[in-house]
Amino acid sequence: MASQEVIGGGRDAEGIRADGKSGQIRQLYTAPLGKLTAWVAAALRKLNIGGKLTVGFGILVALMLLVVALNYLGSIAAVRNINRTTDLSAPSAVASARAQANLLRMLGEVRGYLALGDESYRDGYRLANEAFLADMRELEGLLRAKGESPAGRSNAELGMQEIGQLLAEWQPLSEQLFELRNDQLRREPALKILVSDANPLIATVVASAKAMMLAQRNRDPTAANTALLADLASFQSSFYAMVAGLRGYVTTGRESFKYEYQANLNINEGAWSNIAKEGTTLAANQTALIDRMAKSRTAFLELPARMFEAVEGEHAREDLYLFRTKAVPIAERMLALLDAVATQEQRRLQVDLAGGRDQLERAQQIILTVGAAAVLSGLLLGLIFRDSIAGPIQRLTGVADRVRRGDLAARAKVESGDEIGKLAASFNSMTVQLASNIGDLENRRREQENLARRFRRQSEYLGALHDTSLGLIARLDLAELLSDLTSRAAQLLGTEHGYVYLVDEAGESLERKVGVGVYATHIGQRLAINEGVAGTVWNTGEPLVITDYQNWPGRAAAAAQMDITIRAIMGVPLKSGDTVVGVLGIAYDDASALDFGEEEVELLKRFGQLASIALENAQLHTATAAARREAEEASNRVGEQNRMLESLSSKLSKYLSPQVYSSIFSGKRNVEISSSRKKLTVFFSDIADFTATTDKLESEELTELLNQYLTEMAKIALEHGATIDKYVGDAILAFFGDPETKGTREDALACVRMAIAMQRRMKELQREWVDAGYKLPFHLRIGINTGYCTVGNFGSEDRMDYTIIGGEVNLASRLQAHADLGGVLLAHETWALVKDDIESEELTPLTIKGFSEPVRSYRVLRIRGDQPTPVPVLRHIQEGLRVEIDVPFLKDAGRAEAIKVLEEFIAQLRT
């Protein structure tokens, strides 16, 4: 034996030498660690288990506190940078962006007010301005809070200083724009020329022409005097048309009015030339009138060119010019500066975040270093406790395991005098006592174990079915239902592997919706019919049990890629009615000793039936909820669109005649450039001597009177079914017969009834105006003609007007000019249509410029059947005599004075 040990020892020495340097290096590292472990273990053997644990946990707690302290110190600087970012840099960038938005809003509100004059835009500007100033104050405070000295001010602070200077220029400029928008004469130079310079000259020409015509009527009715009177009438009417066209062009800028002015200017030139030729035949007073007319007319003709230049130049609207040349550049500069501030603050934000990130990374490196040291210390303590505590316990556990396996002769070694040594001695005594009782208990255990196993299985099956029937059927969320369904099924049969496949919407394949255990991967995998267990169950509609799955020829190709070997598998169909909608599968791996018997198959079939019902309920709930959401969303969208359309249509209706508005929005008329010829009744009204009357009124009074007059006339027009074409200053152009018509006769009768109603309402308005203190109320003249006109949309694809044109329209305008004050004058065509319902008297045929034949006209008296009413205006015209007395305006002293004047005139005539 001694010789054998020596030989063995020699072989060991040779093996050590064969390891070479690698063994020496390993010993270099492990030897010190082994010595340290042995020294500490020897010191710990003197302590009991409590003392050993106290020492070990004390060391671990000290290491943990060290890690926490280093973490705290390393994160202070990072927190400082993060706080700077949160409190200053980020709010600065947000405040700058918000200030840009409010500045854009201010610019838009000013633009809206200049375009529409709606006070809501001015209110919106004030709100936006207040918000912008608040943003600027906030931004300045944030920049000051960063603590930069004046000598080292950033570009952002310099930009804020420039923004302050620009804002000081902007504030008074916005108010100047608002004041210009509210003062029409200041903002429209052309209108100022018309009102201030042209109107006095127009009044002089008109008054002189009237006086000239009155003097000419008193002269002998020779052919020359009659021709001169006709030229004076042509001069007067063409001059009225020139002024109307000029006013229309100045107020609207439409080229049609400029054309009207130029066309009538040629007519006026011709008439003036004829009048000038007759200068030698005129009386002295007429010569003076002609001279005054010539001077005023010459001075007036110099003004339209200035008006045209003002309308067509860039100063046509002074408020828009000032907005475009001053306000917009200031706003754009402020926006650029705010954008620069926002950009700089964003860069600062990125720098602060990067600094915080770097500091956190350094703190993490320190923590990792100290943590690694703590882990090494923990490993060392683990090795020590393994030898002094875990080793004896492990050996004692090994002996206990031998006893558990039936080796009652096994005994534990008492290695120390601590609690573990005492436990080993007690364990040995208990083992001896256990050996004496184990025989009797073994027999009784075997008997009761069989009974308990059967009872437990039956209880588990019944409980699982009860939970499934109450829990799964109540579930309506499909994903949650499938997941719980599979987990319950696997738990029911004592395994962790299972899946659920559902038939896709096209009905062409099965898709794995849920998987547990080995089937948890490859969710979404598809199987064709008859592919694998699930495909076979889908095809047959019957449960399928495979006890040797690895050798089953129908196994799916994907089964070979699974990490665990499946030994047995069972699948049951999930049905909706008679249709298979899915497959529930449960499997045992090769580590399980369970098999699928008749009891398991029957139980899983019942489980599948309950799951099918729950699945059908969940699918029905999902479909119902989706349909309800879609219906609600569609209803909300339709409601919102309807509200938008109602608001838009309500606004558009203010700019269109109700008939045109109704025909467009009902779809009867397309919005496109088109026209047609129709027989219409055309209505034209104008206020006599409007210029002379308005010259004596303030602009506010004129605006009030004109708006009240147009409003009242428009109400009457709409009540009688008229289509209002346009308002031309104080004139109204309307027509009957399109887009709606009641027939030519009914349209003409409605137009005449409307004209009578307007004159009656005008007399009521005159009395109201006299009571309100206006001494020169308006007098209305109306002309009506019936004939074929061209009606439709005229203009461009982007801007069009619905209007009428043609000679019949011009004739209605000319008839209006020849009507009496407060009177209605009809053309022959209109009179022929309404003569059975309207009383009238025919006048001397009129010679009208532009018409080769004299025009027959009829003065309207009343509607047949109406009781004659006292004529408020007493009027008598004959050769050498023209008398008009407006009775409603003669009250008290004025009436007495008028009677006295008339009596004096009568006395003079008699003598």
| Three-class SS of 61-127 | HHHHHHHHHHHHHHHHHHHHHHHHHHHHHHHHHHHHHHHHHHHHHHHHHHHHHHHHCCHHHHHHHHH
Per-residue model confidence (pLDDT) at position 33: 60
Q: How far apart are CA 813 and CA 388, in angstroms?
A: 124
Q: Residue 2's pLDDT band (boundaries 50, 70, 90)?
A: very low
3-class SS at 736? strand
Residue found by looking up tokens 């598809």 in the block: 526
Q: Residue 361's pLDDT band (boundaries 50, 70, 90)?
A: confident
Residue found by looking up tokens 């004159």 in the block: 759
* Higher per-residue pLDDT: 833 or 250: 833
Q: Which amino acid appears at position 792 of this protein?
A: G
pLDDT of residue 150 exceeding 50: no
* Higher per-residue pLDDT: 468 or 131: 131
Closest CA to 694 of 765, 772, 776, 763: 776
Per-residue model confidence (pLDDT) at position 673: 67
Q: Residue 453's pLDDT band (boundaries 50, 70, 90)?
A: low
Q: Residue 804 carries which DSSP code?
A: E
3-class SS at 131? helix
pLDDT digits (tens, 9 = 90+) for 211-225: 888 888 888 888 888
Taken in order 72, 75, 81, 83, the sign of the CA dihedral is negative
Q: Which amino acid appears at position 553 of this protein?
A: P
Q: Residue 3's pLDDT band (boundaries 50, 70, 90)?
A: very low
pLDDT of residue 747 exceeding 90: yes
Per-residue model confidence (pLDDT) at position 876: 61
Q: How far apart are CA 782 and CA 763, in angstroms?
A: 14
Cα end-to-end span (Å), the chain: 187
868, with CB counted inside 10 A (0-12, 13-18, 19+), is exposed
3-class SS at 625? helix
Q: How far apart are CA 472 and CA 486, in angstroms?
A: 11
* The total number of residues written for the chain in this structure: 911
Q: Residue 470 carries which DSSP code?
A: I
Query: CA-CA distances (angstroms) from residue 300 to 241, 254, 405?
Result: 14, 21, 131
* Higher per-residue pLDDT: 260 or 453: 260
pLDDT of residue 244 exceeding 70: yes
Per-residue model confidence (pLDDT) at position 177: 79
Per-residue model confidence (pLDDT) at position 463: 65
Contacts of 5 (CB under 8 A, 6+ apart): none
pLDDT digits (tens, 9 = 90+) for 803-829: 899 889 999 999 999 998 889 999 999
Backbone φ and ψ for 687, nearest 5 degrees, come out as -90, 125
pLDDT of residue 742 exceeding 50: yes
Per-residue model confidence (pLDDT) at position 339: 81
Residue found by looking up tokens 């599968």 in the block: 585
User: How many Cβ atoms from other residues are within 10 Å of residue 719's Cβ?
Assistant: 12
Closest CA to 525 of 442, 593, 471, 585: 585
- Six-digit token string for 391: 């080793």
Average pLDDT over residues 580-604: 85
- What ranges in 302-390 are assigned the alpha helix state H? 303-312, 318-322, 328-385
- Six-digit token string for 58: 């004390």
The crossing angle, in degrees rounded to 10, of helices 328-385 and 90-116 is 150
In 100-205, the DSSP E strands lie at: none
Contact 593, 587 (CB under 8 A): no
Residue 800 CA, distance from chain mean position: 29
- Six-digit token string for 272: 């003036």
- Six-digit token string for 759: 């004159």
What's the whole-number average pLDDT of the chain? 78
Per-residue model confidence (pLDDT) at position 671: 58
Contacts of 133 (CB under 8 A, 6+ apart): none
Taken in order 248, 251, 254, 259, the sign of the CA dihedral is positive
pLDDT of residue 907 exceeding 80: yes
pLDDT digits (tens, 9 = 90+) for 610-637: 777 777 777 777 777 777 888 788 778 7
* Higher per-residue pLDDT: 786 or 2: 786
Q: How far apart are CA 338 and CA 344, in angstroms?
A: 10
- Six-digit token string for 840: 């009238």
Helix, strand and coil content of the chain, in percent to the nearest 5, comes to 70, 15, 20
pLDDT of residue 833 exceeding 90: yes
Closest CA to 580 of 645, 507, 653: 507
pLDDT of residue 700 exceeding 80: yes
Per-residue model confidence (pLDDT) at position 16: 44
3-class SS at 583? strand
- Six-digit token string for 681: 């009744």
pLDDT digits (tens, 9 = 90+) for 721-734: 999 888 888 899 99
Q: Residue 287's pLDDT band (boundaries 50, 70, 90)?
A: confident
User: How many Cβ atoms from other residues are within 10 Å of residue 574's Cβ?
Assistant: 25
- What ranges in 653-743 are assigned the alpha helix state H? 658-665, 690-694, 699-719
Taken in order 327, 333, 339, 345, the sign of the CA dihedral is negative
Residue 141 CA, distance from chain mean position: 33
pLDDT digits (tens, 9 = 90+) for 381-398: 777 766 667 777 777 787
The helix (run of H) or strand (run of E) holding residue 548 is none
Contact 819, 784 (CB under 8 A): no
